[in-house]
Amino acid sequence: MDNKVFEKLELNKILSQVSSFAVLAMTKQRILCEQPAAEGRDAQSRLDLTTEGDAALFRRGIGRVEEFPPFGDEPERAAKGSSLSCKELLGMAALLRSARVAYRGVQALPPEESPLLREIVSGIYFDEVLEKDITEKILGEDEISDYASDELYNIRRSIRSLNERIRSRLSEYLGGAGAKYLQEGIVTMRDNRYVLPVRAEYKSRVRGFVHDRSASGATFFIEPEEVLEMNNELRELAAAEKEEIERILAQLSHRVGVLASAIMKDAELLSELDCAFAKAEYSYKNKCVRPRLNEKGILDIRKGRHPLLDARTAVPVSVSFGEEERRMLLVSGPNTGGKTVTMKMCGLFCLMAACGIFVPAAEGTELSVFSKVFCDIGDAQSIEENLSTFSSHIKTVIGIVGGADKNSLVLIDELGGGTDPEEGQALAKAVLSHLLSVGCRGIVTTHYTALKEFAYARSGIENASMEFDMNTLRPLYRVRRGVPGSSNAIAISRRLGLPENILQDAVSNLSEGGRQFENILRTAENSRIEAEEAKKRAESLEAEWKGKLAEVNAEREKLRREREKLLTSAKVESRRIVNERTAEAEELLAEIEKIAKSRDLTPSDLIRARTLKNKLADKAFETQAEEREKPSLEPADASSLKPGDRVFVGAMNGEGEVLSVNARKGEAQVQVGGMRVNVRTGDLYRMYGGKKTEPKVRVVRKVEPVQSVQTEINLLGKTVSEAVQEVDAFIDRAVLSGLEEVKIIHGVGTGKLREGIRNHLRGMKNVAEFRSGVYGEGEAGVTIVKLK
């Protein structure tokens, strides 16, 4: 493809932004020079690699490629026997470290998530031993570690020792009788040898070798005889140190040279890995999605925005074309409506996908890969402000006509513009006819009415327009397929302040056919906008009523569950009462049977048996009465309720009387006991039958305080009914006396008395809890009661 196309569609700017996320300098250059894939399979592979990079970075959290300095021919020189510098060797170590970290990081990823990344790192070679040797032996760009070798360590130790001896010997001059001969009390260096600054008049007093004198001649720098041999030895040690350093560097360089080809390959593979990560990070930072690719030439962009526009202010645009029946779109509409930006976005998205870069659009966006992309874009509204003359426009069109085929994407802005309108329209029709005949896909923008009519009559091309608000005369940045757009030049000129008399003159200069066509377009557009607004209102009302219907159904379901809950609760309560009455009746029958079995019946026994019989009859009567008086419940509604009705209030689990009903609000005021409450009618149940429940009156017995308070009661030999009565009185006295804990003695026996007493205790409001006695308290024969 032509690089000028990349510049016009601004792919070069996108690649520049992507390259800013790369770590390696060679990767940045690689991205800037990247060419889009010409085949769908290649583009799909690039997108797969970016997807794996995104998962590795932002889901699995592996690190980026570690940076290493750019290098040139260092590996080749090392392979030929040259020694590399400390700086160059450190660069090789950094590369080996980057290769090692990248290899291990990718290998730690799940294999099913990273097949392409694994394929890249499978060719990476690293030598951790060599990497460690270089970094431990070379401390800086010009510094070798003392521990690089045993020989270097010994040499440097000897150098340090000899330096100390020389300084110690020379210090005798500084502090002894010879100090008066010195110009300054310091030791200095000349030609890497230690010397003393001696005054010129005393130079014969200091025996030694003269190395230099000052510019004024007042000072001679003399190496004393005492340190001459030591300085010679020091120079020999320095030469030995240099030779050992060169030997160490040569050895390390040789090991690098052995790996020269692997190192070069590592750099290439790490750059490829870095490129995938850079594309993934760009896509992540710009909230891009991976587009689906097809081989049919179809573009379906959903809520896309040009990536060079500010994401906070850019209006997303949706556009689709490319099917066989509408291979091309003819987009019309007013200037500043977004035609050019939308067209450039379509071309740029295809190129980005072909480079393996995700696009800033919504999920479901679908693109196609084209072997050729042609474009002629350039007007005062383009992003680049790149104006074109008619001659350059036609020159570009000639290139498009000559090179376009069915695998091409063609983008032409204002086809046939910049010349006589009649000739321009004729030329534009001919070019469009040729492009349709070769089967290419594309977008063409125009203001020509003849071209809009042409798109209606010719198959393979469809009219489209950029929507425009006729009330505010502002663009809406939405693509409407099937309907051409009006240029609205006169209306926009009026809004911008062109004098009215000029505007009226312009209207009169319009041809009758042109005025009618533009009026039809404006009327159709207004009607469409009104129909869409009506549709939106209808959809809003439908959604509102659906919500209300859902609320009603939820309320009905709630009432059903409440009713089932009440019925279940009533059944459980009935079962409890029956079981309780049955247990009491069995106790009474057992006592009567016990009296009947007695051999010697006394009058008191007969009286007691008759009393028990009466109690048994009373229990049966109470059960029947409760069954008779139990009311039935039915859900109530506002229309059927009236003041005075008996109702059951579900939220309060109590009976009440309706005082007033507000049918409009669906509420009722109910008297429940001593309270008046407003309740939703959906929480009320009408009560039929049964006996009206009177408000419960709390009866408090006045008990005279006693001086001696009993903390336990003995119920041995008592029946359950007798024991229960005595327990009631005992608990009342204990509460009034302020006791916190009491003991009930009932014995073990058959366990009936104990269970009867404990069942009764469970229903007493003044009892907090109770338990069996422990060792020393009576164990199972007593019950310890804790009072509230």
Return d(Cα 85, Cα 103) in angstroms, integer: 27
Strand partners, 293: 367
Spatial separation of the C-alpha atoms in residues 488 and 738, rounded to whole Å: 95
What would the mean pLDDT of 99-119 be, rounded to a whole number? 94
- The candidate with the shortest Cα–Cα distance to 745, out of 760, 733, 736, 757, is 757
Tell me the average pLDDT across 703-712.
57
Best CA proximity match to 87, nearest among 222, 215, 252: 252
* Residues 652, 648: Cα–Cα separation, whole Å: 9
Torsional sign, CA 78, 84, 90, 91: negative
The residue among 692 and 56 whose pLDDT is bigger is: 56
* Cβ–Cβ < 8 Å for 252, 82: no
Mean pLDDT value of segment 276-297: 94
Does the structure show a pLDDT above 60 at 689?
A: yes
3-state secondary structure of 764: coil
Residue 255 has pLDDT above 90, yes or no: yes
CA-to-CA dists, residue 336 to 238, 384, 467, 492, 750, angstroms: 77, 15, 11, 10, 100
Of 761, 700, 752, the closest CA to residue 726 belongs to 761
Please report the pLDDT score of residue 385 as a whole number. Answer: 40
C-alpha to C-alpha distance for 653 and 643, rounded to whole angstroms: 20
Instruction: Look at residue 639 and tell me whether its pLDDT is greater than 80.
Output: no
Tell me if the pTM is above 0.75.
Answer: no
pLDDT score of 593 more than 60: yes
Environment class of residue 255 by beta-carbon count within 10 Å: exposed (0-12), middle (13-18) or buried (19+)? Answer: middle
Number of CB atoms found within 10 A of residue 274's CB: 26
737-740 LR contacts (CB < 8 Å, sep 24+): 737/705, 737/706, 737/709, 739/709, 739/711, 739/787, 740/786, 740/787
Q: What is the pLDDT of residue 147?
A: 93
Per-residue confidence (pLDDT) for residue 696, from 0 to 100: 40
Mean pLDDT estimate for the chain: 82
Q: What pLDDT is attached to residue 312?
A: 84
Q: Say how far apart CA 133 and CA 353 lie, in whole Å.
A: 44
pLDDT over 80 (residue 585): no
| Amino acid symbol at 71 | F
pLDDT band for position 551 (50/70/90)? confident
Q: In the prediction, which pLDDT does 702 show?
A: 39
- pLDDT-wise least confident of 4-13, 84-93, 181-190: 181-190
pLDDT at 380 over 60: no
- Between 387 and 579, where is the model more confident? 579
Residue 734, both tokens: 């204990």
- Any residues with CB less than 8 A from the CB of 278 and at least 6 apart, and which? 18, 19, 21, 22, 23, 27, 31
Given a contact cutoff of 8 angstroms between Cβ atoms, the answer to whether 405 and 372 are in contact is yes
- Residues 683-711, mean pLDDT to the nearest whole number: 54
pLDDT at 149: 93
How far apart are alpha carbons 698 and 715 in whole angstroms? 28
pLDDT number for residue 601 = 61
Look at residue 590 in the predicted model and tell me its pLDDT: 78
Q: What is the pLDDT of residue 468?
A: 66
User: Residue 79: pLDDT above 80?
Assistant: yes
pLDDT at 349: 95
Task: Give the pairing type, strands 317-321 and 299-304.
Answer: antiparallel
| Residue 574 CB partners (closer than 8 Å, separation 6+) | 630
Is pLDDT of 123 > 50?
yes
Return the closest-CA partner of residue 770 out of 743, 731, 739. 743
Residue 745 pLDDT more than 60? Answer: yes
Using DSSP, state whether 349 is helix, strand or coil. helix
**What are the pLDDT digits (tens) for 532-546?**
778 888 888 888 888
CB contact at 8 A, 334 and 472: no
Question: Measured between alpha carbons, how far is 337 from 341 in angstroms, rounded to an integer?
Answer: 9
Region 628-649: mean pLDDT is: 75
Count CB-CB contacts under 10 A for residue 50. Answer: 26
Alpha helices by DSSP H, listed for 382-460, are 390-403, 421-438, 449-457
> Does position 701 have pLDDT exceeding 90, yes or no?
no
Q: In this model, does residue 431 exceed pLDDT 80?
A: yes
24: pLDDT strictly greater than 90? yes
Average pLDDT over residues 51-73: 91
Mean pLDDT for the stretch of residues 254-273 = 95
pLDDT (mean) for 730-745? 84
- Return the pLDDT at 781: 87
489 has a pLDDT exceeding 90? no
Q: What is the percent of the chain with per-residue pLDDT over 70, rounded to a whole number?
A: 82
Question: Phi and psi for 113 in degrees, rounded to 5?
Answer: -95, -10
Q: For residue 553, what are the CA distances in angstroms to 369, 542, 634? A: 51, 16, 18
- Whether 134 shows a pLDDT value over 60: the answer reads yes
**Spatial contact of 136 and 252, defined as CB atoms under 8 Å apart:** no
pLDDT digits (tens, 9 = 90+) for 290-333: 999 998 999 999 999 999 988 888 889 999 999 988 899 999 87
CA distance 174 to 206: 13
Confidence tier at 507 by pLDDT (50, 70, 90):
low
pLDDT at 440: 93
Distance in angstroms (rounded) separating the CA atoms of residues 654 and 631: 13
| Pairwise pLDDT comparison (528 vs 341), residue with the higher score | 341
pLDDT confidence of residue 216: 77
Strand-strand pairing, 684-688 and 675-680: unpaired
Beta pairing, strands 667-672 & 292-294? unpaired
